[in-house]
Amino acid sequence: MARLFGTDGVRGLANGELTPELALSIAASAARVLAAHDRSHRQVAVVGRDPRASGEMLEAAVVAGLASAGADVLRVGVQPTPAVAYLVGALEADLGVMISASHNPMPDNGIKLFAAGGHKLPDGIEDEIEAGLDSDGPRPTGAEIGRVSDVDDAIDRYTNHLLAATPHPLTGLRIVVDCANGAASFAAPEVYRKAGAEVIAIHADPDGININEGCGSTHPEKLQALVLEHGADLGIAHDGDADRCLAVDASGELVDGDQIMAILALAMAEAGELTHDTLVATVMSNLGLHLAMRDHQVSLRTTAVGDRYVLEELRSGGYALGGEQSGHVVFPALATTGDGLLTALRVMSRVASTGKPLAELAGVMRKLPQVLVNVRVSDKATVATSDAVREAVEAVEAELGDEGRVLLRPSGTEQLVRVMVEAPSQEIAQAAADRLAGVVSSVS
């Protein structure tokens, strides 16, 4: 049987794979496991959600599961994922539960768990929770049943934290923010205005159905058009649970997570905040980021794809900044997980403090054209050990030299090999990727 917990919690079709019965079982098992590890006090859990309709149903199930296992519940309502992570620490809770499927379509939902302090639960604890799903006890009674209360000032606690982490006011900036009709719909416009910006908010009217629907970081086209229409200095795009941030410059050009990390890494290095002058990114980050960091004497450490691997590297090395091309950026000194609002505030603060437009700041990095081809194979292991594939990769790498890069990566869930090539031009990258894809296909 496949492991229930993926790299970012449990996700699936709400009321399909992710039923209220499963949500209740996960919550009850989590409370029992944590109580078994620390019996010194009654467990306290923070529960938040994004605004998709199924979140109401799943929140009720999660709260019931936690309380039935003896944990007290602090409901914080509709909040960004990073807000829930922050509030776990701020409220001195033992567990955090975020009900969201992030950038996934509305019919999906998910459950993400945070340990004390707002950190990701260790794999071992997740395994214990999964192993305890079929357990029916112990079941406390009477006064031992968990109590449920609402945290009325949750959003204020989170936005005050964000404002304290913003190094320069945004006075004079006109921005457009796309909230994806998601969890950032109130918090993002509110905190950006409090930081001093003139804010035009779009897709900030969630109705439970319209989250991520043709908007947000996965569909930035309307944001790009409105930045031009309003003569804004820049635009910010969030996903459904606001743990990501992409940007748009004044000319309507998209600024992705790699460019955002380049801007922030240099700003932090200048301020003496970039520990060991090192940035952490995944293997999918553009070669242009590697070259830009090398030119500015910043080391770049790469990890496997997934925010959990970025977090592991940040913690093990004591580094201060890391993230993904998708706009999932982590500042360990300020947050325990990716925070799209914090990222946006830091980028806008850099624009305001330098007086330079976003396009100029992002220009420190030249993005190389990147082509990704998914090749369906019968056996990924055969591809990994193939001499023909290795020789083909070496030949393309020799042709590209320092001006390109090749990455072959097997899918973690399917019989697919992902062929990624970066090169000086789109044509060169496409030709090389197609050539390698042909070799991969022929050996399996």
Angstrom distance (rounded) from CA 281 to CA 125:
26
Instruction: Report the C-alpha dihedral over residues 78, 82, 88, 91, rounded to 10 degrees.
Output: -70
Angstrom distance (rounded) from CA 369 to CA 54:
39
> Among candidates 332, 265, 254, 324, which has minimal Cα distance to 292?
265
CA distances 440 to 74, 305, 378, Å, are: 52, 21, 11
Residues 49, 124 contacting (CB under 8 angstroms): no
Q: What angle do CA 306, 309, 312 make, to 5 degrees?
A: 150
Helix spans in 210-339 (H): 221-229, 257-270, 287-295, 307-317
Q: Which of 54, 100, 102, 217 is catalytic?
A: 102
Q: Is 102 a catalytic residue?
A: yes
Encoding tokens for residue 273?
A: 């905040």
- How many whole angstroms from its chain centre is CA 400? 32
Angstrom distance (rounded) from CA 421 to CA 104:
27
> Among candidates 324, 332, 325, 326, which has minimal Cα distance to 274?
332
Beta strand pairing call for 370-376 and 416-422 = antiparallel
CA distances 217 to 49, 103, 203, Å, are: 19, 8, 11
Angstrom distance (rounded) from CA 248 to CA 256:
8
Catalytic machinery residues: 102
